[in-house]
A and B are shown apart, each in its own frame.
Chain A
Amino acid sequence: DSGVTQTPKHLITATGQRVTLRCSPRSGDLSVYWYQQSLDQGLQFLIQYYNGEERAKGNILERFSAQQFPDLHSELNLSSLELGDSALYFCASSERGGSNTEAFFGQGTRLTVV
């Protein structure tokens, strides 16, 4: 158990809808990362937050947004969903905002858009 908790584990929704994925980082970790992994694809970095502030941005679509709350949990919001958004979404956390430290991953949310 990595200590990173993601909910829900599975989500099935229709095109055009909006969903929210939730991540609770390991206790004490200040940094949260979101990644997308499509079928047989690598991990694509979406966005990183450190202590409530956006720290780095990757290939995140404008339809997607995220935030990190004062209690350090994070939410990834996906809107106007398309079939191609179906993927595994992973959250990871680390202790010192990416300063020579490993990231620990949650078990992911499997999103299916129908």
Chain B
Amino acid sequence: EDQVTQSPEALRLQEGESSSLNCSYTVSGLRGLFWYRQDPGKGPEFLFTLYSAGEEKEKERLKATLTKKESFLHITAPKPEDSATYLCAVLVSGTYKYIFGTGTRLKVLA
């Protein structure tokens, strides 16, 4: 069964304390892996798309990487405004469904 698992479920960081969020996936074939940011009561906001192992994407303090089994979202020197839930999703080969993980709730303290 195709599955996406994110860890940790929740993470508290001090401002400036870098860390990584994990998204591991078990799928029959990967067409794409996506990272989103979701603020409470809002729709997910697209961050990155990764297609193949070894690929990396960066945006401000965020950097996403992809291996054959997992993806990491690295947050460098986070600020309080980075507090949100970060969602990972995969698009499985031969399907049209995005499978989402349950997310990591990040809280950055000033």
Contact = CB atoms under 8 A, between A and B. Distances in A.
Interface in B64-110: 87, 89, 91, 95-103
A102 B96 contact: no
A4 B43 CA distance: 10
A103 B45 CA distance: 9
Interface residues of B, number: 24
B96 A56 contact: yes
Contacts of A88: 41
A55 B96 CA distance: 7
B96 A42 contact: no
A48 to B, nearest CB: 5
Contacts of B102: 41-42
B98 A110 contact: no
A43 B95 CA distance: 17
A79 interface: no
Given A45-B97, A45-B98, A48-B97, A102 B46 contact: yes
Given A100-B31, A100-B32, A108 B98 contact: no
A35 B99 CA distance: 11
B42 interface: yes
Interface in B34-58: 34, 36, 41-46, 49, 51
Given A43-B44, A48-B97, A55-B96, 20 more contacts: A2-B45, A4-B43, A31-B96, A33-B98, A42-B87, A42-B100, A43-B100, A56-B96, A90-B44, A99-B31, A102-B34, A102-B46, A102-B49, A103-B46, A105-B44, A105-B46, A107-B42, A107-B43, A108-B43, A110-B41
Interface of B: 31-32, 34, 36, 41-46, 49, 51, 87, 89, 91, 95-103
